[in-house]
Chain A
């Protein structure tokens, strides 16, 4: 077969390509596609469950330059699904981005991986997104997804949305000017605490793998120039109830008067719709304020938080002590949530940690 012959020739001239043999054998990728992958630059925002599968798959597939941003450290309850991490990483107290970089270096030393340990927000995302060919969603919250959506429109870079909880998954390829954007589908972030999070409702490994593998496949199609093969729908499935759907969203862009992709009103990138953090005067505590007049339902949130702590609430506020990690890594927080969605996270003085706690236990 001509293709495999040329692949073999190429492998001889460039031995680093040998590892991609089975991938290059797939006609639509071939040698040319492999070259394109090698020249690609991808930003992965979030390196938890989805992020590790994405980094693992795309790193092995030969994406030449991968930037991984994550603000968290690895915990024992991550290992059930976060495939790049192991117990040694926890012992070494590594941030997720650095642990992923270390592991990928063992897997494929021919690619470049940049690790950034930071809280992605509207002030810093552009510096990481400029010059990338693709943005990948490995986040756990809507606010950051809408931020990626704005950046995608602003810099005209495609991105791939992915989300999962328990056995349910959602994913979609978003290309500015071609497909609907995330805000054509979901107008704004849901009110804080309205949706369950993986830390309150749980998540199963296969759900994560399925969403991220789908995202990775679409990424490979896009980066190798196989645009015609891209999935144009919104994938939605429930692996437990055996429900698989591909929603036709093609007309969403025409129907919605989207503030972001139609009017270039990038409210998450400008900071207008972002949550803000304030380090409070007094004992180490950070306040997170949510924009826009939401009212949260304490009863609903308390029901979710019972999985992690012992929430109590009155008509004014909800309080829940939260303990993470064990031994030396044990950290104790106290979450105080008010009806407008603002929260005081006690036990932290780092805004990034407070935002992570909020995203995990309240949901943003």
Chain B
């Protein structure tokens, strides 16, 4: 089934769409000219591919306030980055603190390790009304065995931005590593490895960075030593083939196999586009749209918006907000919005079952609308008008 050209796309928290034209152009250009295997083959195309990777590594490292591009690992998405981090860093007996806001890409690998008796796990709660955690809850959960704190930078259900810097400071004070899941924020909300005391950042390329799917990254700050890590994935690195083991050199230690060069070429162009348009301006734009939505549906007594409400509903949010309409399941509402109004939103649990339990929407979940940089006030008007008709 092909999507209608007139579709109102409000599912940017899952994958941003449309992509800037420069992304497809960069991918197409790379495919046509330089799409050889990167690495140390030495021929000009291999060198060009390697240089492109290095350039995007540097670009992304600077973008998140990192210091060493060699510590930027290309991954296939944020889930991949998180798995590389958890499985590479955690040791038997470690205690990990995470939150009830997390996506399954954090919750599931940690839960599996806890169920296997490999680690112990504490999940701190959050305020359903404000949609944020209290860093003091994290401080109180720290034990002598605590090795890692894993926090989402913004809830993918509520859109609420979490206190990353405060959590980072607590982690640093206690000698605990701090991992930030930047799935919902990279490209739109500021992330600064140094200022926020972040040890690891995992991020996707295909959301607010506006890059293609199949791209993402893990940045390891210098506070994470190479000797602390094991390689989640081992294989060819394009150099040092005589070594029987994965060469202990970043980024190659964590990058076995041919990387998604075509995707990274697109990601590089996307990051440039995002920077040119100034993330803070885009964030303001998305917040306006969220506020417009919250204001627009306020009069609908059958509609419930979750998380912060009122005039400042969007103040601490990225462009994401969830709601339900009494009398319809989220899946039905999603079906109606798509079928009768050509509006794409996302119903269900959004891979965040713990968050939905806290806000009281488990097991059906809610409907999430998430505007991106290319959405307009008119798009939100269409959604509000549709909901007025449905919830009348």
Give the interface of B toward A (CB within 8 A).
Answer: 1, 329-332, 335-336, 339-340, 347-351, 363-365, 390
Contacts and interface: CB of A to CB of B under 8 A. Distances in A.
B349 A281 contact: yes
Interface in A31-87: none
25 contacts: A280-B331, A280-B348, A281-B348, A281-B365, A282-B348, A282-B349, A282-B363, A282-B365, A283-B329, A283-B363, A283-B364, A285-B331, A287-B335, A315-B340, A316-B390, A317-B332, A317-B335, A317-B339, A336-B335, A338-B336, A338-B339, A339-B339, A339-B340, A342-B335, A344-B335
A340 B363 contact: no
A289 B339 CA distance: 11
Contacts of A346: 329
A309 interface: no
Tell me if A's interface is mostly helix, strand, loop or mixed: loop
A46 B188 CA distance: 53
Interface in A309-343: 315-317, 336, 338-340, 342
Given A283-B329, A292-B1, A344-B332, 10 more contacts: A281-B347, A281-B348, A281-B350, A281-B351, A281-B365, A282-B363, A282-B365, A317-B332, A338-B340, A339-B340
A231 B332 CA distance: 48
B349 A316 contact: no
A336 B350 CA distance: 21
Contacts of A280: 331, 347-348
A168 B351 CA distance: 48
A75 B332 CA distance: 29
A291 interface: yes
User: Looking at A276, A285, A316, A338, which has the most chain B CB atoms within 10 Å of its CB?
Assistant: A316
Contacts of A338: 335-336, 339-340
Q: Give the contact-size bracket for chain A.
A: 20 to 34
Contacts of A342: 335, 339
B58 to A, nearest CB: 37
Contacts of B330: 282
Contacts of B364: 282-283
B108 to A, nearest CB: 14
B331 A282 contact: yes
Nearest to B350: A281
A317 B363 CA distance: 22
B334 to A, nearest CB: 9
Interface string A126-155: 000000000000000000000000000000
A282 B347 contact: yes
Contacts of A281: 347-351, 365
A88 B32 CA distance: 66
A283 B356 CA distance: 12
Contacts of B363: 282-283
Given A280-B348, A282-B349, A287 B1 contact: no
Contacts of B332: 317, 336, 344
**What are the 7 tightest A-B residue pairs by CB atom distance, in nearest-first order?**
A281-B348, A338-B339, A282-B348, A316-B336, A282-B365, A338-B335, A281-B349
A317 B331 CA distance: 12
Contact of A291 (B1, B335, B340): B1
B300 to A, nearest CB: 16
Interface in A261-300: 276, 280-283, 285, 287, 289, 291-292
User: Looking at A281, A285, A338, A344, which has the most chain B CB atoms within 10 Å of its CB?
Assistant: A281
Contacts of A287: 331, 335
A316 B340 CA distance: 7
A280 to B, nearest CB: 5
B71 to A, nearest CB: 34
Nearest to A316: B336
A315 B332 CA distance: 13
A283 B329 CA distance: 10
Contacts of A289: 1
A316 B348 contact: no
A346 B348 CA distance: 13
A283 B331 CA distance: 9
A317 B327 CA distance: 12
A344 B329 CA distance: 11
Given A280-B348, A281-B351, A283-B364, A344 B331 contact: yes
Contacts of B347: 280-282
A289 to B, nearest CB: 6
A292 B348 CA distance: 25
A282 B322 CA distance: 14
Nearest to A319: B332
User: Looking at B332, B335, B347, B363, which has the most chain A CB atoms within 10 Å of its CB?
Assistant: B335
Contacts of B340: 315-316, 338-339
Nearest to B352: A281
A287 B335 CA distance: 9
A283 to B, nearest CB: 5
Nearest to A340: B339
Contacts of A340: 339
Contacts of A282: 329-331, 347-349, 363-365
A358 B1 CA distance: 19
B365 to A, nearest CB: 4
A234 to B, nearest CB: 31
B347 to A, nearest CB: 7
Contacts of A339: 339-340
A161 B43 CA distance: 60
Nearest to A338: B339
Interface string A232-270: 000000000000000000000000000000000000000
A235 B1 CA distance: 35
A339 B335 CA distance: 10
A340 B336 CA distance: 10
Interface string A151-183: 000000000000000000000000000000000
A272 B350 CA distance: 28
Nearest to B349: A281
A5 to B, nearest CB: 64
Contacts of A283: 329, 363-364
A138 to B, nearest CB: 29
A216 to B, nearest CB: 38
Nearest to A284: B363
Contact of A316 (B1, B329, B339): B339
A340 B338 CA distance: 10
User: Looking at A282, A316, A338, A340, which has the most chain B CB atoms within 10 Å of its CB?
Assistant: A282
Interface string A332-364: 000010111010101000000000000000000
A285 B335 CA distance: 13
Contacts of B348: 280-282
A285 B340 CA distance: 21
Nearest to B386: A316
Contacts of B390: 316
A192 to B, nearest CB: 13
